[in-house]
A and B are shown apart, each in its own frame.
Chain A
Amino acid sequence: MEEKVGVYICHCGTNIAGMVDVKEVAQWASEQPNVAVARDYKFMCSSLGQDMVETDIKKLGLTQVVVAACSPHMHEKTFRGACQRAGLNPFMFEMANIRELDSWATDNHAAATQKAKAMIKGAIARVMLHQPLEALRVAIDPHTLIVGGGIAGITAALELANAGYPVYLVEREPSIGGHMAQWDKTFPTLDCAACILTPRMVDTGQHPNITVLSYSEVEGVEGYVGNFTVTVRKKAGYVNQELCTGCGICEEKCPKKVVDDVFEAGLGTRKAIYRPFPQAVPKYPVIDVKSCIYFQRGKCKACQIFCPPGAIDFEQQDQLLKLQVGNIIMATGYDPFDARRIPRYGYGRLANVFTSIQFERMVNASGPTGGRILLRDGATEPKSIAIVHCVGSRDENYNEYCSRVCCMYSLKFAHLVRERLPNAEVYNFYIDVRAAGKRYEEFYHRVMKEGAHFIRGRVAEVTDAARTPDEEGKLIVQVYDTLFGAQRRIPVDMVVLSVGMESRHDARKVVQQFGLGCDMSGFFTERHPKLDPTLTMVEGIFIAGACQGPMAIPETVAQGGAAAARVASMIGQGTVVMEPIKAHIDADQCSGCRVCNTLCPYNAIVYHADQKVSEVITALCQGCGTCVAACPSSSITGAHFTREQLMAQVEGLLWDVRELEMTE
């Protein structure tokens, strides 16, 4: 068949035409071999421009189309659509980006024109070898897996469930609720966190479309968008959930008390059989095997003896569940920065240095001190409190980023101190106060007016080594006050370290398990930081909340909702269209060397030992082409980026120097 290429050169107003001699380029293009028509036009992306392409395809019987205009990220879809409407396979099209990569990037007219010609020549050479491709359609399972039962996961689960879609909500701890359940008040409105969270937890637990899998962890993920198979380990809690009424007698009777490092952040205690907190959802307690006297010494069974419905089952085993889901939302949250990593702040060494998490529990009415602010002795109220901002954040030794929430919760602490201990002095040691958010700045002003002190400077050290009599028995905060211009020593009774947010300690493991990407800090990478913040690089896996980066509750909730909306839209479509840019192995040529097997980041290549050949699972392949480049027998083809197409494009791009080289 005779190849007839149509070449269209866009002026983009003066954006291209102002730098590239478009008339000359069009004339030159029309003289190139296989080019049936070459035109230039003011705005190719306009409906008139697209009509021009469509008419030419129909009237002149074009077999390929090249549009030289802006970035393919801008208008590749537009022109593919035009080709399709005119009955030409949309992949018989190539775009030459002579705007972003040419006319906008130089002020040299001659060079811009020459480069445009080279790019168009490359596009023509390439498009001649294009093959028609068909987009793949994959059915979508309406079930969704949500990993993490914090406020992000809860929000997403409720949104999807209310839309009528079934959801599995997997939570590692015995109860959903996440970090938010630990907090006392939320800034800047000072709503009680539990009061706004627990109704949603209850809704989640009772919703007919939500299956809460608490005390469970994801063990494995297989499959691809629309068809994931997820293995979940439901850890044995040694309580029969069908019998348990959640009365709490077992907790009362259990003789073993242990320090609660998770929910109470080491400030309070729980029993060996426990629910993290009274409003836990689901209501069933679990036995912590490491602490349980029966499991450790073989005697006790107090809980079993006293349990009215006889729900305690010491024989219970872990269960492995296989779930079929179409989409996954990751809402795994964050870990607070471990203040022990900064020894000079004294946490873990000096008794009255607390982390902000501990302080939250302390000021919480249902916390270990019943909401009273007390020193470590559990009786004395402090007369002065230092709040140290940016602990582990904005520090190149730990985390360079700003954790975004610490300023505001520190201000909240200052307010709570002034409210509960009106005679106590409270000092905020800050670098900058970052109060960007609705009503945040107003809250900052309010706290200043309430009489909290603000000292600008990063704290150098917290010490108990007194230099003067009035420092005796106190903790001294040593700081360079950058507004005052001098070193200062502030003696206080209590120090609160406002720790930042870090990615989960096992984030990198999770990234590998789900095939996601993460940044240097371990936060999951989104598809696009501005325009697609909740989709990951893997189709069908979304992210919400602080697993993506430090964020406060409103953003987390918004992201949970956004991720749910994205999933709902996927399910609503019924099927998903996948780009046909995939690798394919020619079984006749494959030598079975298996080089590609280990290269594939998605494990999309399987090896058939019986035939000694490898095969690409099309639905798993993301089309990166790494295997194509590596195949020693050249038996892997990367659709739309074939070896021949790229070689031809190289030749085309070098059309002018190529001739020179030949004649030399």
Chain B
Amino acid sequence: MSEPYQPVIIGFLCNWCSYRAADLAGTARLHYAPNMRPIRVMCSGRVEPDLVLKALREGADGVLIAGCHPGECHYIEGNLKTLRRFVLLQRLLRQFGIEEERVQLVWASASEGTVLAAAVNRMTEQLRAMGPLRWRQNVLGGNGHGPAQVVSQPVTLASEEA
């Protein structure tokens, strides 16, 4: 029997609510899936779509963005900007053929360690059921661009010509 597949999630946690929620989950010794690797940002509003795509491209199977609840943002409404951006990003991901569950947005206040832990657990299970993302094969390959090495070929060709 082989070990269950372990998806890797990059978690963007806002400094004021969600990172503190994660701190609280730890302090309360809530054991949850160790599959989320955290990055602290000052506000979820800082998370640009590029960062999410970068994570998926570099081998993450999913990205979790966590911010303060609407109306409770430390920066008044940065989380609403995140929400707006997130909806657009999801549309883009759909066009890439990436399942919606791979990029998730949750609100977790500083007191909601349980909410954050539950979100990580849930997402891990969903990704486990879906299997690895395999950006280069499934996204680039499926998009007609072929594997990444092909993309870099014109550069070598250009240098040969020179």
Contact = CB atoms under 8 A, between A and B. Distances in A.
A119 interface: yes
B91 interface: no
Interface residues on B, range: 35 or more
A100 B27 contact: yes
Interface in B90-104: none
Nearest to B136: A661
Contacts, number: 155
Given A101-B23, A653-B37, A624 B59 contact: no
B47 interface: yes
A537 interface: yes
A71 B21 CA distance: 11
A97 B45 contact: no
Contacts of A650: 10, 39, 51, 54-55, 58, 60
B72 A519 contact: yes
A622 B75 contact: yes
Interface string A571-615: 000000000010000000000000000010110000000000000
Contacts of A515: 76
B119 interface: no
A654 B63 CA distance: 12
A517 B72 contact: yes
B48 A660 contact: no
Contacts of A101: 22-23, 26, 38
A122 interface: yes
A73 B14 CA distance: 13
A66 to B, nearest CB: 14
B48 A628 contact: yes
B100 to A, nearest CB: 21
Interface string A115-153: 100110010000000000000000000000000000000
Contact of A661 (B25, B32, B135): B135
Given A101-B22, A658-B59, A107 B31 contact: yes
B26 A629 contact: no
A625 interface: yes
Contacts of A625: 41-43, 45-46
Among A108, A119, A537, A657, residue most surrounded by chain B Cβ atoms (within 10 Å): A657
Nearest to B52: A650
B10 to A, nearest CB: 6
B145 interface: no
Nearest to B68: A517
Interface stretch (A168-176, A551-559, A640-648): A640-648
A272 interface: no
Contacts of B39: 122, 646, 649-650, 653
B125 to A, nearest CB: 15
Contacts of B74: 517, 537, 624
Interface in A614-646: 622-626, 628-630, 638, 641, 643, 646
B122 interface: no
A97 B59 contact: no
A122 B20 CA distance: 19
B72 A102 contact: no
A49 interface: no
Interface residues on A, range: 35 or more
A73 B58 CA distance: 28
Interface string B3-45: 0001010100000000110111111011111110111111101
Contacts of B77: 601
B134 interface: yes
A121 B9 CA distance: 16
A85 B81 CA distance: 39
A73 B47 CA distance: 20
B26 A624 contact: no
A636 to B, nearest CB: 11
Given A517-B72, A657-B60, A661-B136, A629 B47 contact: yes
Contact of B78 (A108, A626, A647): A626
B58 A651 contact: yes
A629 B45 contact: yes
Among A73, A112, A601, residue most surrounded by chain B Cβ atoms (within 10 Å): A601
A479 B46 CA distance: 53
A624 B82 CA distance: 12
Contact of A99 (B10, B26, B117): B26
A624 B78 contact: yes
A122 B8 CA distance: 14
A577 B77 CA distance: 25
Contacts of A122: 37, 39
B41 to A, nearest CB: 6
5 contacts: A101-B38, A111-B35, A624-B42, A629-B48, A660-B59
Given A100-B25, A517-B76, A630-B85, 5 more contacts: A537-B75, A581-B42, A629-B45, A641-B46, A650-B39
Interface of A: 71-73, 97, 99-108, 111-112, 114-115, 118-119, 122, 515, 517-520, 525, 537, 581, 599, 601-602, 622-626, 628-630, 638, 641, 643, 646-647, 649-651, 653-654, 657-658, 660-661, 664
